[in-house]
Amino acid sequence: MMKSLFSLLAGFILIVGISTTSWALPNDVSYEINATLNTDSHFISGVQTMSFTNRTGIELNELYFHVVSNAFTRGSDTLYQQDLSRFLVVTVDRIYNNPDDNAFLAIESISANGTPLEFSINDTLMKANLIQPLLPDESITVNIQFVHDLVEAAPGNAFAASLAVRSGYRDGTYTIAKWYPQLVVFDEDGWHLDEYRFMGEFYGDFADYTLNITIPQTMKVGASGDFVEETFHDDNTKTQTYHIKRARDVAWAASNLFREEVVEWQGKTIRTLWLNQFLMPSITLDSFQYFSETFGEYAYNTLTAVQVNTAGGMEYPGIVMIASGSVEEISHEVGHEWFYAGVGNNEFDEMWLDEGPTTFASELYRIESRGEPDNIRRMLTHIEGGIPILSTSTDFNSINAFANAHYNKGSSIFWMLDELLGRDIFLASMRAYYQNFKYQNATTQDLIDTFKSVSGQDLDWFFDQWLNTGNKLDVSLQNVQVELQADETQTTTFDLIHQGSIRMPIRVDIISDSTVIESFIWEGLEDQASFSINTPQSPSSIRVDPKRKLLEQDRADNFWLNASTDMAIANNGWMWVAAFAGVLLLLIPATRLIGMG
């Protein structure tokens, strides 16, 4: 007899409304950026006009901007470079192909409402002092002239995740990201003065952008937003204009070598630019359609997927940078357009909030839509590092711990919610979260409140265990005995023992000749429990968490094979092969991180 996982779930759920605790647009911000790419000296000259209305509720005496590209400047000893030395034991020289090259973002001038401003740069943050306080609801126009010198990237930087390079060029193809002075977020906690680090990504306000990109006439450009117009000039250059509203950031790429395919689907434009990965257009379109139908309408009008050879495997609003062109990489980056771009979050403090659902979404797509085996799930390779997932990026002491928490454990939380709530209510919760927080920076609490509201359940017990602790779920099946009864039935007794401190409902299947003859849910509240099950046939095996839907630390003691059955004799060899394969899987989580943002 199969016992319901949660008997309280019944009937229909009506979503009337969910209160929001995060800020949608703490300030009204818009950018117009004129950018000219110099392909001889490999730099961008930019003129940026930012319009800003103070919605903070207090007067502001200064503005802060991210100048991320200065993280890579030789000899600057930025926190990013200190991270490289600490975690990878390499210097920033590793990113450069040319020993004489040097990347930077230089500010040539900055003014507000026509008046020059004093400014200073420390690490990857710029402070601009205002001439007079900017009062609540007052507006200001800030003009910045800048030069972004691009790194000629060494071959090992094809993936952004390798050394966290964001902008650069190689073999005539340019990746342009984190390339302009971007206003720092001011929210209910004040200015978020986070320098760029090797681990941990970004936190940006939603803003409107107009990009005017000038490049050689022979080049194709892929950029955030909708293509507006193209103007040709007498010097063999052209200017392309792109526009995107309510975006956290903008990026672009340019090359003479791009091949292009454009598809229209349900009012959306899916544009693919690739170098040598001919399957990119079909994978991009297929995953885009799946996520649209599963989680909700894409937040923008146009999605551009671009294959690059520097800093690929990264997501930005309206555009994804692809390196290898694998199904895993493409679907992961496209998934970020829902969880990172559509719904934002602070990736310094809560990186799991976009990497977790995105990794889950990619796995779900590959299993449900493409027929890949369910052993692709990262939860099967997770090793608990003991650091709570709700830790800032600087709290992690290794790339393995960082990857395990945000990608592996993060995606596992959604697989477990899927099992706990059932697919219908789970997806209803995901869609409600996406819809209610689209164009906003959400928080973990927003996600929790959404799942509680849609499911009608108090799920604090679940989230507290998995988010706020580094504890483990580890259930051991022990002391199995099978006894023949006088009426020819079989009585099977066994113990389930918690060897970790996390408690979860867990399914147990009793199997005879590949058929489940008894199945039940142990609520798992006590440290251990004993069971006595009567069945008409002798069991050939017992399996704890048979679908592997829980983040179980040690699966080797989750099953028992009856040594007296033919099935056990036939499968005993395979059991050891499977156990050995499981050990090998535990060795690969960090390598699977490389290549995906």
pLDDT in tens, 62-80: 999 999 999 999 999 999 9
What pLDDT, on a 0 to 100 scale, did the predictor assign at position 563? 86
In this structure, are residues 160 and 314 in contact, taking their beta carbons and an 8 Å threshold?
A: yes
Q: What is the mean pLDDT of residues 39-59?
A: 97
Confidence band for 19, pLDDT divided at 50, 70 and 90:
very low
Q: Name the average pLDDT for the chain.
A: 91
- pLDDT above 70: percentage of residues in the chain: 90
- Please list, in sequence order, all residues whose beta carbon lies within 8 angstroms of the beta carbon of residue 496, skipping any fewer than 6 positions away: 475, 476, 477, 478, 506, 508, 522, 524, 528, 529, 531, 544
> How many CA within 13 A on the CB side of residue 173?
21
Cβ–Cβ under 8 Å, residues 444 and 410: no
Asked if pLDDT for residue 21 goes beyond 70, the answer is no
The confidence band for 8, taking pLDDT boundaries of 50, 70 and 90, is very low
Closest CA to 165 of 77, 103, 79, 100: 103
- Tell me the pLDDT tens digit for each residue of 392-440: 999 999 999 999 999 999 999 999 999 999 999 999 999 999 999 999 9
pLDDT above 90 covers a percentage of the chain that reads 87
Please give the Cα distance from 330 to 341 (Å, whole number): 15
Contacts of 226 (CB under 8 A, 6+ apart): 242, 243, 244, 269, 300, 301, 302
pLDDT band at 200 (very low <50, low <70, confident <90, very high): confident
Residue linked to tokens 């046939």? 537
Average pLDDT value for residue range 481-508: 96
Looking at the chain, how many residues does it have? 597
442-470: pLDDT as tens digits = 999 999 999 999 999 999 999 999 999 99
Q: How confident is the model over 41-52, as a mean pLDDT?
A: 98
Biggest distance spanned by C-alpha atoms of the chain = 98
Residue with tokens 């033919």: 566
Per-residue pLDDT band at 441 (split at 50, 70, 90) = very high
User: What band does 27 get if pLDDT is binned at 50, 70 and 90?
Assistant: confident
pLDDT of 325 over the 70 cut: yes
Per-residue confidence band for 26, with pLDDT thresholds at 50, 70 and 90: low
Please state the three-class secondary structure of 46-62 as a single string.
EEEEEEEECCCCCCEEE
> Alpha carbon 130 to chain centroid distance?
36
Confidence of residue 188 (pLDDT cuts 50, 70, 90): confident
Tokens 């979260």 label which residue?
433
Q: Count Cβ neighbours within 10 Å for each residue of 331-370 and write b for 16 or more, e otherwise.
A: bbbbbbbbbbbbbbbbbbbbbbbbbbbbbbbbbbbbeebe
Note the pLDDT of residue 565. Answer: 62
Question: In the prediction, which pLDDT does 63 show?
Answer: 98
What is the residue whose two structure tokens read 């259930």? 475
Query: What is the band of 170 on the pLDDT scale with cuts at 50, 70, 90?
Result: very high
The pLDDT of residue 137 is 95
Q: What is the pLDDT of residue 596?
A: 75
| Alpha-carbon distances, residue 440 vs 20, 316, 454, 552 (angstroms) | 10, 15, 20, 34
Q: Is pTM beyond 0.75 here?
A: yes
Q: What is the reported pLDDT for 35?
A: 98
Task: Enter the DSSP assignment of 320.
Answer: E
Instruction: Compute the distance between CA of residue 372 and CA of residue 290 in angstroms, rounded to an integer.
Output: 15
When pLDDT is averaged across residues 489-503 and rounded to a whole number, the result is: 96
Q: Report the candidate in 352, 357, 287 with the shortest Cα–Cα distance to residue 325.
A: 287
pLDDT at 25: 46
Please give the pLDDT value at position 247: 98
For helices 410-421 and 460-468, what crossing angle results, to 10°?
A: 160
What does the radius of gyration of the chain's CA atoms come to, in whole angstroms? Answer: 27
